[in-house]
Amino acid sequence: MLASKFLFSVSFLLFFLLHPTKTLAQGPAAAPAPPGPTNVTKVLEKAGQFTVFIRLLKATQEDVTLNGQLNNTNNGITIFAPSDSAFQSLKSGTLNSINDQEKAELVQFHIIPTYVSSSQFQTLSNPVATQAGSGDRFQLNVTTTGNAVNISTGLTNTSVSGSIYTDGQLAVYQVDKVLLPIDIFTPKPPTPAPAPEISKKKKAKAIADSPVSTKDVSGAESFIISNNVVLFGVGIVTAILSL
């Protein structure tokens, strides 16, 4: 019995001495790597169904602006992200009918330059300022009814259908309609064409063809003046002869 215990102790000691690396390697687990910088397009890509909005963000380079604000400043941002089905419901050719500057303004119209949590929507003052601006050109009105958040632009009426991402600085909410600003998508009255200029030849012809031309008028004036001179002369002679 004692011999068996002795042999077991010696075997265990030899095993420990011959395998030190294996025993020491079982230390505490490594801490997870810190998260990378916030990337708006990656947030949307992970959520899915926002490919058209992502394409617009990249085409207008608004994604670069947003990522710079999020990672280099303390400014908060709130994004109303239209789903792919929201873009599909637009009239055919809607996006192709606007220029590059208007596309950038359309994207910016979906972004509020402050962080707004779901409980803070009721504190917003209308019209809400967006990255595109505010006032008459870009009117975005947000109202709440219970837990529902309603959005109106004058052309679009929709509501927030879900929360995609929030971290205290960036909030992304899904909307099922594209927010169309009046300033871009309201037909503008056509500019009146300038009146055509009349050439000098046409002006001269018009004067010559008039019922009383300049020549006729000047001739009539000369005739009247001549008659007055003659009458005046006759009057003088008559006065002399009467003396």
Q: Residue 72: which domain range?
A: 40-184
Model pLDDT, residue 156: 94
pLDDT of 169 above 70: yes
Inside any domain, residue 134: yes
Q: Is residue 127 part of a domain?
A: yes
- Kindly indicate the confidence band of residue 197, based on its pLDDT and cuts at 50, 70 and 90: low
- Mean of the pLDDT values across residues 180-187? 85
pLDDT at 201: 65
Q: What is the pLDDT of residue 185?
A: 83
- What residue type is assigned to position 199 of the chain? S
Helix runs in the chain, H state only? 2-18, 20-24, 40-47, 51-59, 62-72, 84-88, 100-108, 182-185, 200-208, 214-241
Both tokens assigned to 179: 């927010």
Q: Tell whether 214 is covered by a domain.
A: no
CATH number of 176's domain: 2.30.180.10
Q: What is the DSSP letter of 212?
A: S
pLDDT of residue 189: 58
Mean pLDDT of 202-214: 59
pLDDT confidence band for 210 (50 / 70 / 90): low
Task: Tell me the pLDDT tens digit for each residue of 131-151.
Answer: 998 777 789 999 999 999 999
Please check whether residue 231 lies inside any domain of the structure.
Answer: no
For residue range 15-34, list pLDDT tens digits in order: 444 444 433 334 334 434 44
Write phi, then psi, for 168 (nearest 5 degrees). Answer: 95, -20
